[in-house]
Structure 1
Amino acid sequence: MSISAKELPLGKVFTPDFRFFIPSFQRAYIWKQENILQLVDDLREAAATPETPYFLGSLILVRRGGTRFDVIDGQQRLISLSIIIAVLRDLERDPEWMGKLDALLVEPGDKLRGIANEPRLTLRERDADFFRDHVQENNLEPVFDMSDDDLTTGAQRNIMRNIKCTYDELEHLSEDERHAFASYLVNQVTLVIVTTDDLDGAHRIFDVMNMRGLPLTPADVFKARATSPLSPAQSDAYAERWDDIIDPIGDERESEEFFGYLHLILTHQPDTNGKLIDRFLADVLQPHIDGGTIPAFIDKILAPYALAWRIIDHPSETILPAEATDRLESLDDYRNREWRAVAMWTLVHSFSKLGDPEISPFIRRGARSARRQVTVADLGFHDADRLVAVLDALERFTGVQTLNRTNPGDRRGFVTAVIRDLDRGLPLQSVRRLSFIPADDRAGALVRLHGDMQDDDDLVRLLLLRANDQKAGRHLSRPRLFSAMPIMPLNIERTHSYGDWSQEQHDHWVTRLGNMTLVQGKAKELDDHPEYPDRRERILMRANSRRFPLTDELERYSACTPQMIQSRQEETIRLIADYWGIRYDERSTDMTAKDVDELIHETAVKPSRGSRRVTILQVMRAGLITPGETLVWERPRKGERWVATVTESGKFRLQDGSEYASPTAAARAAAGGKGSGGLEVWKRSSDGRKLSEIWKEFRQRS
């Protein structure tokens, strides 16, 4: 068995030297939105220091002959990187940049050199065509018109969702920012390519790398360096103490994140270049080694901050006051976690005995419960008002940053500035970054609250939690499993209880906050109940759903009307704005009383369409299609041909007279439920132009 390994930048990996194949025995693509968004965040943050490479791990490959390789380890990253590149290409306007990005995904071919036009990466058979047609062939627009029902596998649904969320994350970048990010991705993001000619050998390599031969983690390196200068007796004792402190934090990723935030807290310098080990050793540990104060560092710094991290992970299991645990639970709703650094600082500076091995802040259970329960007084609790005030302010700023999609570098700059001011002993009202939300940030958050929330289920759930807490006047406990569900379904074409709705009104409101409510259970539970009375009954049937005031009030509405949904939208925005303190401007003007156009006009906020579905009516109003035009979908090999006509009301009418509000819905109906990617299959009969091209032109104009 021959083995080779070499580190290459991404620009040398996606070349004719490698054609990657996902073997049929491999699991499907399982990365969720939070996984790919974390990768995008990490890469954007690393790109802030463009001269520093970013190591993305290893690929384990088996040679199939020539430049063809089976992927044994690395599928999730390869697919996700391909999605990121495809989104960058779709957002690009410069033909030269588009061509360069396209060549990373598909080999353009060279007849002279005998190089075929082929994709760089081929997925398992069930998903290969979908991935090729949409990600690799520069055809994302049809994906924006799709929903879960249009796809046949979980992998395809994950690809669809990850395309949409990545598009939304990168769409608001300027052209220069996107170019800098793309350049960094190609030139500075590196992978170690491990190749072998033997499948069993590849699996042995995988086992060694992932089970037995793991490299030292940052925590291991820091422990070894910290304890090495101590006497043998001290070294043994403090090595064990180190393990007692760090092991409960969790896996390698968790502990690495902890040390990154600890470095930020102690040095006021965020780690932006991926060299945490070098910087922590030099900036934090070496001064203590030189000063002979390693025991004090472990007891007085490492222990309390590690315990603060654990409190943040499980606030409801501690003896902290309810005001603090409620706010920590609310902060944990966010995907972005930079807030943890400020929360750690505040907890450590609120309990003088945090980290004492004899005093635990966690509630005793089981056999241990017979011992006296520790109280907050035993922990040396002080500055209770500051603790709650800091966490309260931190949650407000984190919420506004989430709505405004603040980039990772700015988020870390924010927490660094806050901790620097807190370390200076400034009172909270003088910590400007925690006491004043800039006008444009407030307006930007309100604009987003007014907008379309399509395919952002986690954000919708978070926002509805805030609105319900505000309406209840307290932090509400959450059911074990609950979801944000639409009051009005995605499709009302064959329902009877939405007679007051025009298609335009439905398309406007269906994915906005006013149409969403919190319900115990899974999001799919209403799919079989399109009529409003049945949906309302299902929503209200569980007591745990009715704990949410905005859900419980649905009992008052016997019908779902445009006025009811609009009223809920306005109330929900007011409640969230009050919760975060962004309702009024400096002149005490109620910003929620203004419509979204006023907010945009008065500020520098620029709304974007992102990946949201474009409706037929919107394209008609832009003059890109006109009523009466015919559209054709032909399958010559199967002898099938379908025709649709654009109606005045913004629908597609099939030859049997049925009408549909989206190209994909019309395609599925025409093909007996088997069609998908409607924008891709329908062509305008007058010029043969695909609807995906027309829809993309509209998106680029918006």
Structure 2
Amino acid sequence: MAIDATEKPLGKVFTPDYQLSIPSFQRAYIWKRENILQLITDLQDACQSPETPYFLGSLILVREGECRYSVIDGQQRLVSLSIIIAALRDLEHDEEWMKLLDALIVEPGDKLRGIIAQPRLALRERDAAFFREYVQEGNLEALFDMSDEDCASNAQRNIRANTRQAYDTLSLMSEEERRRFASYVVNMVTLVIVTTDDLDGAHRIFDVMNMRGLPLTPSDVFKAKAISGLSPAAADLYSARWDDIMDPLGDDASRIEDFFSYLHLILTHTPATGRLIEDFLTGCLQSYIDRHSIESFIDGVLAPYAMAWRIIDRPSDTVLPDTVRGRLESLCDYRHDEWRPVAMWALVHSYRSLGDADSVFQRRGSHSARPGQSAADALEPHDRQRLDDILRLLERVTGMDTLNRRNAMIRRGHAASAIRDLDKGFPVHLVRGLSVSADDRAGALVRLHGEMQGDPELIRLLLIRANEQLAGARIPRPRSLSALPIMPLANYAASSFAGWDDDAHDYWMYRLGNMALAQGNDEQLNNLDDYIRRRNRLLLRADSRRFPLTSQLQDFNACTPQMVEHRQAETIRLLADYWDIRYDENHRDLTDNTPERLAVDAAKPSRGSQRVTIRQVVAAGLLIPGETLVWERPRKGERWTVTVTQDGRFRLEDGSEYTTPTAAARAAGGHSAGLDVWRRTSNGEKLSDIWKRYRLLGR
């Protein structure tokens, strides 16, 4: 069995030297939005040190022929990197940059050298054509226009969701930042390529690389450095002390790295650069070593902040005051955790000797305090109001960052700014990292008014917040809680929703007013196209009826546009009140404003990957009322024509009208990718290219 291992930058992997394919026996693409978001965030961090390579692990390949390889390990990263590059290509304006990015994921071919034009990575047979057509070949607009029902597998749904996530995240960068990011990914992100000509041997290599050997964690490195300067007796004592502090944090290396990264931010007011070990040793630990006071670091810094980390991980298991637990539990609802350093600072600076307060996790009345210290002193904040204010404002700014799609660098910047001002003793209301600007407020309200398609986690969070604001208290949540649509996605024309026209249905389908919290998942509403039956199913369980916005449905025997509009307005008002963004500096109620009026006040509004409508494109002058588009299928001898109407619809030759290209394509020929099939009769331009031009106008 011949084995070869070489380290190469990504730009040397996505070349004609490696024609990669995923064998049919491999699992499907399973990465979720949070996985690809974490990858982009990690690469953004690493990009801040452009001369330092970023090692992305190993690829295990089986040689199948000249330049052809099967991927045994590395599929998730390769697919995700291809998605990131495809999003960068779609966001690019410069033709040369677009061609360079395109060549990374699609081999352009070279007749002279006998190289065939084809994608550099082929997925399993079931998903290969989907990935090639929509991601590798650049039909992202058609992908964004799809719904989950248009995807034939979970892998395709993951591809769609992750492409939207990558596009949204990268679209928040400036053009210069994206190009620096792209250059870093291509030239400085490295992989160890392990190749063999034996499948069994490849699996043995995989087992060895993944099952044997445990690399040192940052905690191991820092502990060794810290203990090395102590006397033998002190070294034994504080080595055990270090282990006692760190062991309860678990053995997940990435979480331990996050802890030290955030501790570095707290102590230096500077986010880590991607070189955590070097940064922490020089910026945090070295000064204690130089002063021969490493004991004070372990007892006075490491211990209390590790305890704060544990409290944040399990706030409901603590005996801290109800308000503190509630605030922390609310913060834990967010998918991002850059708020953690501020919460850690607030806990450490609010509880005396937190590092010794193991009783935080014990039952009330059973805790023991240090000699000379009462349990009440250990577990009662010395400034309850300041702690509550910090956590309340921290949750508010975290909510604004989430709604405004702030990237991880901005969120960490907010945390660093907040801790810097708190360390200076600023009053909480003057702490810059905890403030919300008029732009932030307006942008958040615009997002609340808009479509929420493709982000069920955010919809669920928003509905929880709105329901709890209406209830005036935290509501116990069932194990399985989903945000489900009141209206059916399809077949509504033949049901109790028949009075809805296409425009109203499409407008409200993915907005908050059409969503309700219920125990269970969306399968319980499958095949229910009648409002009463859907409502009764939503209200079936007592755990669902706990949520007042869901319970209100029993007061309506019909679902009308006016009812959904009322729910939308009420939900937005509740959320605006929850985050205290309802009124401006002149005490004017911003929820009375239209989204268009709010958008004027929002800084750099970004459309991201949100679905574009025919009406928007017509209003922008990129489609002209009266012009025709055609969809031809020469092999089947089929040809359909649509006319663009004045009010932003597609009219088929039979007179039926549709508000989306996909709906028109489905009605004509049963095809779901409407943006990919319709072309201008005047010049053959693809509809997806027109949609992309419209999206670029918004940036």
**Retained in 2: the 8 A contact 1:526–1:535?**
yes
In structure 2, the residue matched to 1:269 is: 270
2:658 paired with 1:692:
no
The answer to which of 37-46 and 446-455 deviates more is 37-46
In structure 1, the residue matched to 2:472 is: 473
In structure 2, the residue matched to 1:607 is: 605
2:640 paired with 1:643:
yes
CA distance in 2: counterparts of 1:165 and 1:580, whole angstroms: 25
CA distance in 2: counterparts of 1:130 and 1:362, whole angstroms: 50
1:689 shift after superposition: 4.4
Tell me the SS of whatever aligns to 2:25. Answer: coil
Write the letter of the residue equivalent to 2:3.
I
**Retained in 2: the 8 A contact 1:496–1:531?**
yes
Identity %: 60
1:10 shift after superposition: 1.9
2:397 paired with 1:402:
no
Does the C-alpha gap of structure 1 residues 382 and 615 become closer, same or farther in structure 2, counting only changes over 3 Å?
Answer: same
**Retained in 1: the 8 A contact 2:45–2:409?**
yes
In structure 2, the residue matched to 1:548 is: 547
Deviations 1:232-274 (A, max 9, x none): 44433433332232222231111100010011112222102x1
1:207 shift after superposition: 2.5
**Retained in 2: the 8 A contact 1:11–1:187?**
yes
CA distance in 2: counterparts of 1:607 and 1:493, whole angstroms: 33
**Retained in 2: the 8 A contact 1:632–1:684?**
no
1:604 shift after superposition: 4.9
2:214 paired with 1:214:
yes
In structure 2, the residue matched to 1:575 is: 574
Alignment of 1:190-269 (within 5 A): 190-250=190-250, 251-269=252-270
CA distance in 2: counterparts of 1:604 and 1:498, whole angstroms: 35
Does the C-alpha gap of structure 1 residues 391 and 16 become closer, same or farther in structure 2, counting only changes over 3 Å?
Answer: same
1:81 shift after superposition: 0.7
**Retained in 2: the 8 A contact 1:8–1:190?**
yes
Deviations 1:290-325 (A, max 9, x none): 333233322222122111111111111110111111
In structure 1, the residue matched to 2:311 is: 311
Alignment of 1:414-433 (within 5 A): 414-433=414-433
Deviations 1:91-141 (A, max 9, x none): 222111110110011111112222221211111111111111111111112
CA distance in 1: counterparts of 2:229 and 2:249, whole angstroms: 25
In structure 2, the residue matched to 1:186 is: 186
Tell me the SS of whatever aligns to 2:493. Answer: coil
Write the letter of the residue equivalent to 2:638.
R
| TM-score of the aligned structures, taking structure 2 as reference length | 0.92
**Retained in 2: the 8 A contact 1:644–1:652?**
no
1:326 shift after superposition: 0.9
1:690 shift after superposition: 3.7
1:204 shift after superposition: 2.9
Tell me the SS of whatever aligns to 2:355. Answer: coil
The answer to which of 61-70 and 326-335 deviates more is 61-70
Does the C-alpha gap of structure 1 residues 321 and 379 become closer, same or farther in structure 2, counting only changes over 3 Å?
Answer: closer
Does the C-alpha gap of structure 1 residues 62 and 236 become closer, same or farther in structure 2, counting only changes over 3 Å?
Answer: farther
Write the letter of the residue equivalent to 2:201.
G
**Retained in 2: the 8 A contact 1:449–1:513?**
yes
**Retained in 1: the 8 A contact 2:416–2:433?**
no
Write the letter of the residue equivalent to 1:676.
S
In structure 2, the residue matched to 1:496 is: 495
CA distance in 1: counterparts of 2:544 and 2:614, whole angstroms: 35
CA distance in 2: counterparts of 1:336 and 1:203, whole angstroms: 35
CA distance in 2: counterparts of 1:499 and 1:429, whole angstroms: 52
2:460 paired with 1:461:
yes
**Retained in 2: the 8 A contact 1:228–1:235?**
yes
2:381 paired with 1:384:
no
CA distance in 2: counterparts of 1:493 and 1:688, whole angstroms: 34
CA distance in 2: counterparts of 1:402 and 1:572, whole angstroms: 17
Tell me the SS of whatever aligns to 2:356. Answer: coil
Structure 1, unpaired ranges of 5+: none
Tell me the SS of whatever aligns to 2:6. Answer: strand
Does the C-alpha gap of structure 1 residues 233 and 171 become closer, same or farther in structure 2, counting only changes over 3 Å?
Answer: same
**Retained in 2: the 8 A contact 1:62–1:70?**
yes
CA distance in 2: counterparts of 1:69 and 1:620, whole angstroms: 47
Does the C-alpha gap of structure 1 residues 572 and 590 become closer, same or farther in structure 2, counting only changes over 3 Å?
Answer: same
Does the C-alpha gap of structure 1 residues 576 and 35 become closer, same or farther in structure 2, counting only changes over 3 Å?
Answer: same
Does the C-alpha gap of structure 1 residues 463 and 698 become closer, same or farther in structure 2, counting only changes over 3 Å?
Answer: same
CA distance in 1: counterparts of 2:400 and 2:153, whole angstroms: 35
| TM-score of the aligned structures, taking structure 1 as reference length | 0.92
Deviations 1:506-558 (A, max 9, x none): 22222112222211111332232122221111111211112112111122222
Tell me the SS of whatever aligns to 2:494. Answer: coil
Write the letter of the residue equivalent to 1:173.
M
In structure 2, the residue matched to 1:290 is: 290
Does the C-alpha gap of structure 1 residues 470 and 697 become closer, same or farther in structure 2, counting only changes over 3 Å?
Answer: same
CA distance in 2: counterparts of 1:465 and 1:632, whole angstroms: 44
CA distance in 2: counterparts of 1:553 and 1:431, whole angstroms: 40
1:335 shift after superposition: 1.6
CA distance in 2: counterparts of 1:656 and 1:700, whole angstroms: 34
**Retained in 2: the 8 A contact 1:48–1:409?**
no
Deviations 1:550-609 (A, max 9, x none): 1111222222222222222222111111111111111212222111222223x2534333
**Retained in 2: the 8 A contact 1:353–1:380?**
no
1:694 shift after superposition: 3.8
CA distance in 1: counterparts of 2:521 and 2:406, whole angstroms: 30
CA distance in 1: counterparts of 2:145 and 2:425, whole angstroms: 53
**Residue-pair matches, total:** 690
Deviations 1:8-40 (A, max 9, x none): 222222112222221222111000011111212
Does the C-alpha gap of structure 1 residues 291 and 647 become closer, same or farther in structure 2, counting only changes over 3 Å?
Answer: closer
**Retained in 2: the 8 A contact 1:223–1:242?**
yes
Structure 2, unpaired ranges of 5+: 370-374
1:504 shift after superposition: 1.6
1:669 shift after superposition: 5.5
1:197 shift after superposition: 3.0
Does the C-alpha gap of structure 1 residues 238 and 197 become closer, same or farther in structure 2, counting only changes over 3 Å?
Answer: farther
CA distance in 2: counterparts of 1:660 and 1:235, whole angstroms: 75
CA distance in 2: counterparts of 1:528 and 1:377, whole angstroms: 58
CA distance in 2: counterparts of 1:28 and 1:353, whole angstroms: 49
Write the letter of the residue equivalent to 1:465.
I
CA distance in 2: counterparts of 1:269 and 1:615, whole angstroms: 43
CA distance in 2: counterparts of 1:640 and 1:255, whole angstroms: 62
Tell me the SS of whatever aligns to 1:361. Answer: helix
Does the C-alpha gap of structure 1 residues 667 and 324 become closer, same or farther in structure 2, counting only changes over 3 Å?
Answer: same
Deviations 1:273-298 (A, max 9, x none): x1101111222222223333233322
**Retained in 2: the 8 A contact 1:144–1:612?**
yes
**Retained in 1: the 8 A contact 2:354–2:378?**
no
**Retained in 1: the 8 A contact 2:20–2:68?**
yes
Alignment of 1:75-90 (within 5 A): 75-90=75-90
Does the C-alpha gap of structure 1 residues 15 and 631 become closer, same or farther in structure 2, counting only changes over 3 Å?
Answer: same
CA distance in 1: counterparts of 2:154 and 2:564, whole angstroms: 32
1:682 shift after superposition: 4.2
Does the C-alpha gap of structure 1 residues 409 and 280 become closer, same or farther in structure 2, counting only changes over 3 Å?
Answer: same
1:656 shift after superposition: 8.3
In structure 2, the residue matched to 1:557 is: 556
**Retained in 2: the 8 A contact 1:574–1:583?**
yes
Deviations 1:601-632 (A, max 9, x none): 3x253433322223344445546265684633
In structure 1, the residue matched to 2:372 is: none
Write the letter of the residue equivalent to 1:236.
D
1:177 shift after superposition: 2.6
**Retained in 1: the 8 A contact 2:92–2:98?**
yes
**Retained in 2: the 8 A contact 1:507–1:615?**
no
Alignment of 1:441-460 (within 5 A): 441-460=440-459
